[in-house]
Amino acid sequence: MEIFSLQKEHTEYISQVAEQFEKYYKSMEDKGLILKIVPNGGKIWMNSILLSLDKFQKIIIAVENERVAGFTRGYIHLAPPFVGKFMIGVWDGLYIESEFRGLGLSKQLYLELEQWFREKRVHSIEGQVLHEHFHSIQGCLNMGFSKELFQLRKVLYY
- Give pLDDT tens digits for 95-145: 999 999 999 999 999 999 999 999 999 999 999 988 888 888 898 999 899
pLDDT over 90 at 151, yes or no:
no
* DSSP percent split of the chain into helix, strand, coil, nearest 5: 40, 25, 35
Q: How high is the pLDDT of residue 132?
A: 83
Q: What is the pLDDT of residue 1?
A: 94
In this structure, what CATH number is given to the domain that contains residue 31?
3.40.630.30
- DSSP strand E in 49-152: where? 57-64, 67-78, 87-96, 124-127
**Within-domain flag for 158:** no
Report yes or no on whether pTM surpasses 0.85: yes
Residue 13 lies in a domain: yes
Q: What is the pLDDT of residue 61?
A: 98
42 occurs within a structural domain: yes
Range(s) of the domain holding residue 126:
2-142
Res. 158: pLDDT tops 80: no
